[in-house]
């Protein structure tokens, strides 16, 4: 089922989300709906608050562009990107790389606005899985950026919070219109 995507101005987008404490059939069904919603909206990621749920849960799928990363290790083993997608994770813990790079980002919850965002190029992420396991992913490129973007959502942070002051000024009017 396609879920309505929460838009800029909704307070749930500014909440630090609650950890997932139990994986139920209802939660698994919700995850399927999130994946369907993300794909329908042509997004590369979707976090639970973007569909009005206060949970540390997100989905990411960058398989449309297998060249978007230069490496991917899951639990220390080289892994093919397509074998991991769509990536569903709960209660994430990120370790950010030192090198940073600016790239254009947008958001399904901030319709029509994009801006340059400087983020670490690589991450090591410990991601809870629906089966109760925790996997460790080491990666870069679009997958790293998408995971960081979705984890920001789980902490009440929007990409517009991470842009330069000059960029904030240039989009202020658009954001004001979206938030009203």
The CATH number of the domain where 172 resides is what?
3.90.45.10
Helix (H, G, I), strand (E, B) or coil at 75: coil
**25, 38, 62, 83, 97 from 41: Cα distances, Å:** 24, 5, 14, 22, 30
As given in the structure block, the two tokens for residue 120 are 């670490």
- Asked if residue 60 belongs to a domain, the reply is yes
- Asked if residue 2 belongs to a domain, the reply is no
Over residues 84-89, mean pLDDT: 98
- Asked if residue 90 belongs to a domain, the reply is yes
pLDDT digits (tens, 9 = 90+) for 40-71: 999 999 999 999 999 999 999 999 998 999 99
Give catalytic status of residue 150 as yes or no: yes
Task: With cut-offs at 50, 70 and 90, classify the pLDDT of residue 180.
Answer: low
Task: Please give the tally of structural domains in the chain.
Answer: 1
Helix (H, G, I), strand (E, B) or coil at 103: strand
- Asked if residue 29 belongs to a domain, the reply is yes
Helix (H, G, I), strand (E, B) or coil at 25: helix
- Asked if residue 31 belongs to a domain, the reply is yes
* Residue 18 DSSP symbol: B
How distant is the alpha carbon of residue 135 from its chain centre? Answer: 17
Confidence at residue 172, expressed as pLDDT on a 0 to 100 scale: 84
Range of the domain at 158: 11-179
- Decide if pLDDT at 155 tops 80: yes
**Active-site entry in 36, 77, 101, 150:** 150
- Asked if residue 94 belongs to a domain, the reply is yes
**13, 69, 79, 158, 170 from 65: Cα distances, Å:** 28, 9, 15, 24, 30
Q: Return phi, psi of residue 40, to 5°.
A: -60, -35
Q: Which of 155, 158, 159 is nearest to 18 (CA)?
A: 155
Sign of the torsion angle spanned by Cα atoms 63, 51, 32, 3: negative
- Asked if residue 168 belongs to a domain, the reply is yes
- Decide if pLDDT at 106 tops 70: yes
- Asked if residue 130 belongs to a domain, the reply is yes
Is this structure's pTM higher than 0.85? yes
- Decide if pLDDT at 3 tops 70: yes
Could you tell me what percent of the chain has a pLDDT over 90?
A: 88
Identify which has the larger pLDDT, 177 or 143. Answer: 143
Quote the CA–CA distance of 44 and 100 in Å, as a whole number. Answer: 20
């Amino acid at each position: 089922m396609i879920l309505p995507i929460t838009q800029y101005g909704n307070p749930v987008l500014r909440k630090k989300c609650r950890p997932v404490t139990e994986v139920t059939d209802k939660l698994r069904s919700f995850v399927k709906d999130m994946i369907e919603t993300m794909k329908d909206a042509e997004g590369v990621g979707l976090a639970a608050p973007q569909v009005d749920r206060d949970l540390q849960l997100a989905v990411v799928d960058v398989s449309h562009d297998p060249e978007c990363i230069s490496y991917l290790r899951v639990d220390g083993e080289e892994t093919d990107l397509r074998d991991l997608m769509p990536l569903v994770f709960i209660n994430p813990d990120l370790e950010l790389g030192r090198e940073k790079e600016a790239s254009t980002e947008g958001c399904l919850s901030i319709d029509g606005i994009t801006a340059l965002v400087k983020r670490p190029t690589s991450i090591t992420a410990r991601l809870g899985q629906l089966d109760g396991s925790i996997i460790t992913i080491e990666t870069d490129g679009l997958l790293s950026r998408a995971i960081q973007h979705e984890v920001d959502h789980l902490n009440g942070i929007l990409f517009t919070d991470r842009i330069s002051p000059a960029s904030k000024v240039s989009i202020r009017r658009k954001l004001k219109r979206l938030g009203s």
